[in-house]
Amino acid sequence: MSISSERPVSAEQIYAALAALAAEPVADTEKRPEGPQEEDRLQLLGSLLAKTELEITAATRLTEEEEIEDVLETLLGWGEQIGADPGLAVNVLTNRLQRTAVQVSEPEAEELPPGREAAFAAVMTAVYALGAQLHAERGDTEGTRRALSGAEEALIDILQGMHDLRVAIGDAAGQEDEADG
């Protein structure tokens, strides 16, 4: 599902919001002597998103009951911005999950530790499952099958990552141990 903003914000507006929050990125005056440009928009939005997430995290109380209340409170504000369109909500959630998967996967790392590998696969399972549901709602059987296959592969990766972590802490035998036994 493709979406467009009714009133898209400019790079300049995003930069102003970051400045108002004392979170504006350090400007490279040699690269951008005229200030933020439209091609900087996504990076600036990422900065604004990070600032928002940091503020939410700092404001969330750490006791289990209060934490749930705080999370629900942020979801009220989120819902006010998204509106009543469930397709839009799923699109935004899928986009967020994809960003989370990339962050969890540490793109610069050659190999992920098993716990992070399992976490990456868990996020991707959610992405594929949401995609499968969207395809099914549209009557796209092949798209549904492809997304379900991706979700199933990701589920296997979750189990493998969790097993590898158990091996790492000595709670389970590794492949070498099983071959010797």
pLDDT, tens only, 13-54: 999 999 999 998 887 777 777 888 889 999 999 999 999 999
Average pLDDT (160-179) is 86
Q: Hey, what amino acid is at 168?
A: A
| Sign of the C-alpha dihedral computed for residues 53, 56, 58 and 60 taken in this order | negative
Please say whether the beta carbons of 129 and 110 come within 8 A.
Answer: no
Per DSSP (E only), the strands in 91-137 are none
pLDDT digits (tens, 9 = 90+) for 108-162: 888 899 999 999 999 999 999 999 999 999 999 999 999 999 999 999 999 999 9
For residue 137, what are the CA distances in angstroms to 31, 95, 130, 144?
47, 19, 11, 9
In total, the chain counts a number of residues equal to 181
pLDDT digits (tens, 9 = 90+) for 70-79: 999 999 999 9
* Per-domain boundaries in the chain: 13-83, 85-181
pLDDT at 155: 98
pLDDT higher than 60, residue 81: yes
